[in-house]
C-alpha cells in the first residue's frame, strides 16, 4: 500500500469519547457556578422541551456587526412549570475523599400524592432533623434544595415526576441560605426566582437516541471503493501491527445518540406565559403549553418532552451581553 496522496482530518471527534448511553434520562449537574450576586439565589431550574420556533429581535450588543439591526434567530421553547420544594440537604466537605458528604436530609412535613408515584415510601420530616442540621451549620459548606417536577401542571402527558437537587448560591452566608431553604420548604419555586430575560445559562440534557449505527453514520468516515473486500462501510485499517490491538481511537460501530451533553452560554431571550397569547400554544409531539415557558436562543439537546436542566453559566459573560433584547416578531403569534 502506497503513501497517501493527500492529507485529511481525522474522522470523528474524540471529545465525546466514549460514546455510550446515558445512565439516566435525568442528568446530574456535576458543577455549580460561583454566582457574584447579592442575596440567596437558586443556581438552576428544569423544564420540558416543547419544540422550536423562530424570532426576530433587535441586536443590542454594541460590539456586534449587526448592532441596532433586526436579526433572526432560531429559538427553543422550554416549558417550566413551578418546582415543588420537597426537602433540604446539607453538605460538608469530606477531607479524606475530597468530596461533599451529606450531613442531613430534611423532607417537607406534607408530601403530595403525585410524588408517591416516584417514591412510594417517602415519609415527611420531623423537627429533630431540623434541630440537628441547625446545630451543625458551622460544618456545612453547601445547601441544596431537593425539588420535584410537577408534570401535571405542564402540557406533557406525564404523571411521574423527576426529583433532583439544586444548589443555593449568591453572596450570602450559610445561615442566610439555610433560612431561605427553610422558608421555601413545602412551597413552590418559580422560574422568575432563578432566571430573568437576558441571562446566560448552561443546558444539560440527554440527546436524541439513534440506536446502534455503523462507522459511516457514527463518525462520517469515507465509503471504500467497490473493490474493497467484504464490505465498503468499514474503516480502511484497524491500526498498526504494533501494538497488536485495536485502539479506542479507531472509528467503529456502536451506540449513537442518547448521550449526556452540556451546551454552554445560551441566552434567554424572553420568559412568557401562555395567557399572553390569543390562542393555545400547541407543539407537535408535545401538546398544549399550560405553564410559563422560556424562549432560548439556538437549540438544546434532546427531542420533545425531554427533561432539560439549566444552571447559571459557568463561563464569563460581560454585563453588556446580559442586557434583555427586544423581540419584534415571533412565529408563536402566527
Amino acid 216: pLDDT: 94
Estimate the crossing angle of helix 174-184 against helix 127-134, to 10 degrees. 170
Which pLDDT band holds residue 127 (cuts at 50, 70, 90)?
confident
pTM for the structure as a whole: 0.92
- The Cβ of residue 100 has, within 10 Å, a number of other Cβ atoms equal to 15
Amino acid 126: pLDDT: 76
Amino acid 203: pLDDT: 98
The helix or strand, by DSSP H or E, that contains position 130, with its residue range, turns out to be helix 127-134
Amino acid 6: pLDDT: 75
Amino acid 304: pLDDT: 97
Angle (CA) 176 92 161, round 5°? 75
Amino acid 72: pLDDT: 97
Say if residue 60 is preceded by a cis peptide, omega within 30 of 0.
no
Angle (CA) 68 195 85, round 5°? 165
Say if residue 243 is preceded by a cis peptide, omega within 30 of 0.
yes
C-beta of residue 313 within 8 angstroms of C-beta of residue 169: no
- The DSSP letter of residue 118 is T
DSSP string, 191-206: GGGT--TT-EEEEEEE
The arithmetic mean of pLDDT across residues 213-219, rounded, is 94
The arithmetic mean of pLDDT across residues 274-297, rounded, is 95
C-beta of residue 74 within 8 angstroms of C-beta of residue 54: yes
Amino acid at each position: 500500500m502506497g503513501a497517501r496522496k493527500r492529507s485529511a482530518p481525522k474522522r470523528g471527534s474524540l471529545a465525546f469519547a466514549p460514546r455510550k448511553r446515558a445512565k439516566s434520562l435525568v442528568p446530574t449537574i456535576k458543577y455549580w457556578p460561583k454566582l457574584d450576586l447579592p442575596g440567596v439565589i437558586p443556581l438552576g431550574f428544569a423544564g420540558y422541551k416543547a419544540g422550536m420556533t423562530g424570532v426576530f429581535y433587535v441586536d443590542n450588543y454594541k460590539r456586534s456587526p449587526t448592532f441596532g439591526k433586526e436579526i433572526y434567530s432560531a429559538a427553543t421553547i422550554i416549558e417550566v412549570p413551578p418546582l415543588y420544594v420537597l426537602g433540604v440537604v446539607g453538605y460538608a466537605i469530606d477531607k479524606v475523599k475530597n468530596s461533599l458528604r451529606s450531613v442531613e436530609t430534611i423532607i417537607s412535613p406534607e408530601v403530595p400524592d403525585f410524588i408517591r408515584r416516584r417514591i412510594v415510601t417517602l415519609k415527611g420530616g420531623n423537627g429533630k432533623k431540623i434541630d440537628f442540621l441547625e446545630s451543625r451549620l458551622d460544618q456545612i459548606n453547601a445547601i441544596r434544595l431537593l425539588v420535584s417536577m410537577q408534570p401535571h401542571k405542564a402540557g406533557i402527558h406525564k404523571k411521574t415526576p423527576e426529583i433532583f437537587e439544586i444548589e443555593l448560591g449568591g453572596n450570602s452566608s450559610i445561615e442566610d441560605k439555610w433560612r431561605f431553604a427553610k422558608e421555601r420548604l413545602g412551597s413552590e419555586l418559580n422560574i422568575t426566582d432563578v432566571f430573568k430575560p437576558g441571562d446566560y445559562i448552561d443546558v444539560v440534557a440527554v440527546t436524541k437516541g439513534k440506536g446502534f449505527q455503523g462507522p459511516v453514520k457514527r463518525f462520517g468516515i469515507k465509503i471504500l471503493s467497490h473493490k474493497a473486500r467484504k464490505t465498503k462501510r468499514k474503516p480502511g485499517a484497524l491500526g498498526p501491527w504494533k501494538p497488536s490491538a485495536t485502539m479506542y481511537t479507531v472509528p467503529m460501530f456502536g451506540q449513537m445518540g442518547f448521550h449526556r451533553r452540556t451546551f454552554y452560554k445560551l441566552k434567554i431571550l424572553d420568559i412568557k406565559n401562555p395567557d399572553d397569547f390569543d390562542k393555545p400554544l400547541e407543539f407537535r409531539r408535545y401538546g398544549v403549553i399550560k405553564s410559563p415557558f422560556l424562549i432560548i436562543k439556538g437549540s438544546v439537546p434532546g427531542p420533545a418532552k425531554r427533561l432539560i436542566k439549566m444552571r447559571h453559566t459557568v463561563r464569563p459573560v460581560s454585563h453588556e451581553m446580559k442586557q434583555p433584547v427586544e423581540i419584534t416578531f415571533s412565529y408563536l403569534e402566527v
